[in-house]
Amino acid sequence: MTTRMWGGRFSEGPDRILWDFTVDHSDRRLLREDITGSLAHVAMLAETGLLSGVEAGTLTKGLQAIMTEADGNAFRFLESDEDVHSAVERRLGELVGEVAGKLHTGRSRNDQVALDLRLYLLRSAGARIGGLREFCLAMVEAAEQVGDTVVAGYTHLQQAQAVPLAHHLLAYVSTALRDIERFEDVSRRMDVSPLGAGALGGSSLPLDPDRSAELLGMAGRYMNSMDAVAARDHVSEYAFACTQALVHLSRLATECVLWTTTEFGWVTFGDALTTGSSAMPHKKNPDIAELTRGRAATAIGQLTGLMALQKGLPMTYNRDLQEDKAALFTIDDALAGALEAMTALIGSAEFHPSPPDPSVTALDLAEALVERGVPFREAHRVVGAMLATLAGGGRSLSEATIADLVEADPRFEPADLSLTDPAGSVSRRRSTGGAGFASVREQLRILRRRLT
Ligand code: ARG
């Protein structure tokens, strides 16, 4: 037996093959949103006189009882429920009898599922923003913990300039703050009620979509009923917000993997947040970071699927759209999980990075000449040539003498030798927002205020 909302014109019940192929249980996650939408719908129907006060009271009580079951994880789905919408209506019928048949007045599953998904995403956007903030706080704490530790900053994965490790860590807070903005942004566009659009063209009944939106606490109603049931761009946008955040996390994840190598040895993560090898007793593996990268890959694939799903679909609702939920939830779960795990991993980190190679101060030497009026291009060549000479003699910049400097260019002064200290290079860094100690202190001050 099946619970169908559409038996009337059919001479026989659905074949098992049809049922197995078309029914997708991933919408069960929308249970609470579905009930919330129905509660608002009932209230609107009562206000417009489409339901009597008694009927509305009965339906509301029934729906509230179902919400209590949902809250207590006690709601039982039946294999015969076609989707979450029919499951709720079926249960309502069990609880309040015949009058349950009035719930779907002036409504279609098309505007219903569109609403459920918007409500769900508005709630989960809030949760992801919370997760991103926790992540930011963990990064800020790590940055505070490492103090003035100086490391090499890299371009092309080659040591480039000395930077405070804190500055490097805080770069990920800048990315995460934009990720938060993306969720806030898509939430604004998502905060629109499709309820009242019906199947696609509205209704001959005196519905009040504005009131439905108001009862739901949403910013407003749809402008065009066909768009209301057909649109899924907010789903793509939300999925992109998740995927971009995962892509950012995956960059940090790669650095976490790199930094734990024997070759780098910059960080140790907590034992409880790393895994061992079944074969090699010495191994301590950064699986959380690796799987964060892996989940980002999955999210990119699912996001692409969501775009392909909408491409070329004619107006308005098409059953293809049912596929949006499994993809969306996979992406959303990937971010939720990665945020929690990466936040914990960073929280467990002990940093002990090796100092940069003194060659990272080459730019400082060139800039010393620039301050004496030498064109930068020439200064760059002078320092490059000196490094080549040193390397030819098997020496590095840390072994250079004042004689080497003066030989390279007579405008070098004895005090310039001290410029080859990486920590000194960071101390002299004074451009706003740059990798100097003062800039890091300012970022920490701003971030602390913004995040608490
Ligand atoms: N399960 C469907 C979905 O997720 C619900 C809407 C069904 N509407 C319909 N006309 N069959 O898209």
Beta strands 150-155 and 158-164, pairing class: antiparallel
Spatial CB neighbours of 429, under 8 Å, sequence gap ≥ 6: 435, 436, 437, 439
Paired strand residues for 350 = 268
Query: CA-CA distance, 400 to 379, in Å (whole number)?
Result: 17
Q: What mean pLDDT do residues 205-228 have?
A: 98
In tens, the pLDDT along 306-359 reads: 999 999 999 999 999 999 999 999 999 999 999 999 999 999 999 999 999 999
How long is the chain? 452
Q: Residue 164: how many CB atoms within 10 A of its CB?
A: 25
CA of 82 to the centre of ligand 1 (A): 9
Within 6 A (CB) of ligand 1 lie: 27, 83, 109-110, 113, 317, 319, 321-322
Ligand 1 atom, smallest distance to 112 CA: 6
Q: What mean pLDDT do residues 26-47 have?
A: 98
| Amino acid 18: pLDDT | 95
Q: Which amino acid belongs to residue 64?
A: Q
Mutation to probe ligand 1, out of 18, 26, 83, 121 (largest number of atoms < 8 A from CB): 83
Beta strands 220-221 and 192-193, pairing class: parallel
Active site residues: 156, 277
Element (H, E) at 155: strand 150-155
| Amino acid 1: pLDDT | 44
Identify the sign of the CA torsion 57, 54, 94, 85: negative
pLDDT band, very low/low/confident/very high, at 80 (cuts 50, 70, 90) = very high
Structure tokens at 79: 């294999």
Spatial CB neighbours of 69, under 8 Å, sequence gap ≥ 6: 75, 76, 91
Query: CA-CA distance, 158 to 152, in Å (whole number)?
Result: 9
Burial 169-184 (b: 16+ CB within 10 A, else e): bbbbbebbeebbebbe
| Amino acid 13: pLDDT | 87
Question: Tokens 């015969």 appear where?
Answer: 80
Query: CA-CA distance, 313 to 2, in Å (whole number)?
Result: 29
| Amino acid 389: pLDDT | 96
In tens, the pLDDT along 426-445 reads: 999 999 999 999 999 999 99
pLDDT above 70 coverage of the chain, percent:
99
In tens, the pLDDT along 98-151 reads: 999 999 999 999 999 999 999 999 999 999 999 999 999 999 999 999 999 999
At 267, give phi and psi (nearest 5°). Answer: -145, 150
CA of 319 to the centre of ligand 1 (A): 6
**Does 2 have pLDDT greater than 80?**
no
| Amino acid 3: pLDDT | 62
